[in-house]
Chain A
Amino acid sequence: MVNLTLKFVAFARGSGLRISTSEVLDCLNHLALVDVLDQEQFAMTLRTNFVKTYRDQPAFDRLFRLFFHELRDADTSKHAGTLNGHIEEALAAMQQQMQPGGLPQPIRDFLLDDPLGYLQALQAGRAEQMGPGQALGGNMGGLVNRLAIMLALDNARSAMARYLSENRNSIPWEIREDLNAYFTARLRNARDLLFENQPAVGAGVQTRISQDQRLNQLSGKAFQALTPKEMQELREVIRKLAAKLKDTLNRRNAKRSRGMLDFKKTVRRSAQYYGLPMEVVYKKRIPHKSKLVVLCDVSGSVWSAARFMLNMLYSLQECFTKVRSFIFVSDLTEITAIFERYEADTAMDKVLSEADIDYQAATNYGRMLRLFQDQYLETLNKKTTVIIIGDARSNYQDPEEGILKEIREKSRRLIWLNPETKQFWYSGDSEAATYQPYCHEFRLCQNLDQLHDFIKELVL
């Protein structure tokens, strides 16, 4: 029993399951307590000890079936002793026949009832296949690997057939028949293993990842490239991210808000208890919040990124004392009121229909800055963070970078988010190079990942 269990452990480890020594010891102890002849109990005892997450469960069940049923069934318990010699002889002969390189060791072992090496080879192939190198040809590695094994198996089969026909006279008929059956079954087993669709371990992980992966793909996709359906999904994701950020922030504030001992209050309260400090009072720290001013370019491509940022900022409104938002093309107009009136998603749609702005005009960053300077510059103070989101493409008009400098001096931070691919930043009518030196930060914001990173830095 111990041997069998250890063999299974080696087999399972070979297929990528992680089993620690202490778990094996526990399992052996447990086996003494249950009825090992009851298959359910036996299987459950192994499973409860060796599989510690539901994701590996399907893999375990498969390995269990394979080890205790399929490989056993093919076993020739009825003619164990008599055939063994012949098998080895046959393998030796096959080894010689197969040129070049002979029979690969793992396959040879597999045919000799030791599946470990073969499984490891398969696992290695799969790992390669699933590895992160998903670039072009990245998934070819596994295929090539499998192809090699498949060829070796085919070769082994024909070598066996040749061996049997060549030795037609020297080996008795019954034994030849048995040998043929044995090898055919084994090779079929090997082939089945090879072609099993699911990767050995982490079968469950796969399905789970596909969900996460989908979100990952989504959050890694450029805003401009999203389909309407994906935009819907992304809004959902944003809502979740925002809720998570808020949670983190609240918890952090709760922990941090306990400041020094408030001596005055403690003494005052202690008057109730004959001067005993029964209630100890601590000073509360007020979390520091900043005011945001957001300027969004709504011309074409930029808007798709800007809307998500606005969405996220307004979902996080309580993290700031005030969020004021403006949109511009050539004119500049404030849209804060729209967001105050409607819930973020609705507001987003209203912005384009209700805001008083000429969407057909040519983008003019210089004019926008002048307008901002005229009307709103005095609203900035040292608690204000200014965020400009735009591609800085100003159609070759005066960039007015002097005003940007002024904004920088008047505010706490000035951050520019550019949704344009970095390669194009300094080409054509882009003023990125002009504006960049005046900003505290000038960063790329093309997809949700980057946006999320930015917002996280902003609030935390």
Chain B
Amino acid sequence: MKAMLRPIENNEGTRCCKFEGVADVGAKLQRAGYICSKEIATVVYLAMVTQKPILVEGPAGVGKTELAKAVANSLNRRMIRLQCYEGLDEAKALYEWEYGKQLLYTQIVKDKINEVIKDAATLTEALDRIAGEEDAFFSERFIQPRPLLQALYSEEPVVLLIDEVDKADPEFEAFLLEILSDFQISIPELGTRKAVEIPFVVLTSNNYRDISDALKRRCIHLYIDYPDQDLELKIVQLKYPEISRQLALQVVDAVRHIRKLDIKKKPSISETLDWAHSLVALQVKDLSPETMADTLNMIVKYKADMDLIRRQAGHLLK
């Protein structure tokens, strides 16, 4: 599904930068290449209007990250993405002082510094004078903004995607709290910085571990499950318009059956789409058990699962 987003056609000639209602969300997301259920549309709309972050949960590959991209696309906003991982710290997520730049600048303005302290009578006085200019060395000029600070500093509203927040350490969550509830950040040397424009925040989680209640309380929650048959069929047809309806139906049906089996990794929408893509590329007209067995590695990621499905292939395609 990734990289499949088509830019929206601005047939009205205007930039759409707001959703007008639940139905409007659905329509605009669909134009951005994301078909969503009414539930998703409702939550996105509420988050938009009340400026609350969305916490998206769901199995891998159902389009959690894609939702953020689609929202950014349909609102014509830039998307800033922060991929979380174990050991992610403030320097990588928030900001970092550019030590090298500070040093370089100090060198370049050395003469100026000398001037400032030239006529100082004592060492203490010289130090006092430099201390008076301290702000010059710790100003925003020397801050390297990382995704979170970028999102707050941005003049235009952005979509901030904090991906797989459950992979980050619990301490990281704690400092997300300030950002998510007040949209501000405290930098010790500079003070508190407020967001210029409130970003639209999407957090995704794969249930790698439980997220703290404090964080959950600040977000509204969205659970994206495997889509129902109609929705999945629509998604397949939207992404691959050249696929025949008959084949699309077979694909969706087979995947739905496979999901019901007791396998290690259930195929999700992205796998369905990969599969449909490869069948289209192979110019398959009708899904037979043989073709299915040949292309199975598009949807199944474990050998044990593959064996199980091969055994049931005839049964799955009815």
Contacts and interface: CB of A to CB of B under 8 A. Distances in A.
A26 interface: yes
Contacts of B213: 18, 52
Contacts of A276: 103, 107
A54 B42 contact: no
B222 interface: yes
B15 interface: no
B76 to A, nearest CB: 22
Given A26-B52, A40-B39, A251-B86, A53 B46 contact: no
B18 to A, nearest CB: 13
A53 B45 CA distance: 20
Contacts of A18: 213
A255 B22 CA distance: 47
Contact of A40 (B42, B57, B207): B42
Give the interface centre of B57, B87, B103, B221 by most chain A CB atoms within 10 Å: B221
A181 interface: no
Interface string B213-229: 10011011111000000
B262 to A, nearest CB: 12
Interface string A399-426: 0000000000000000000000000000
A41 to B, nearest CB: 5
A23 B217 CA distance: 7
A255 B87 CA distance: 9
A247 interface: yes
Interface string A230-266: 0000000000000000010001001100000000000
A169 B99 CA distance: 96
Contact of A44 (B39, B50, B87): B39
A34 B107 CA distance: 59
B22 A52 contact: no
A34 B42 contact: yes
A48 B46 CA distance: 10
Interface string B90-108: 0000000001100110010
Q: Which of B46, B49, B52, B99 has the most CB of A within 10 A?
A: B46
Interface in A31-69: 33-35, 38, 40-41, 44-45, 47-49, 51-54, 57
On chain A, which size bracket covers the interface?
20 to 34
B57 A53 contact: yes
Contact of B42 (A44, A247, A255): A44
A47 B222 CA distance: 8
Nearest to A248: B86
A65 B22 CA distance: 23
B220 A54 contact: no
A41 B57 contact: no
A382 interface: no
Contact of B50 (A22, A29, A53, A277): A29
A254 B100 CA distance: 23
Given A41-B22, A44-B39, A52-B216, A33 B46 contact: yes
A274 to B, nearest CB: 8
B61 interface: no
A274 B57 CA distance: 53
Interface of B: 22, 38-39, 42-43, 45-46, 49-50, 52, 55, 57-58, 86-87, 99-100, 103-104, 107, 207, 210, 213, 216-217, 219-223
Interface of A: 18, 20, 22-23, 26, 29-30, 33-35, 38, 40-41, 44-45, 47-49, 51-54, 57, 247, 251, 254-255, 274, 276-278, 280
7 contacts: A23-B217, A38-B22, A40-B39, A45-B46, A47-B221, A274-B107, A277-B103
Closest 3 pairs between A and B when the two form their complex, measured CB to CB: A52-B216, A44-B42, A54-B223
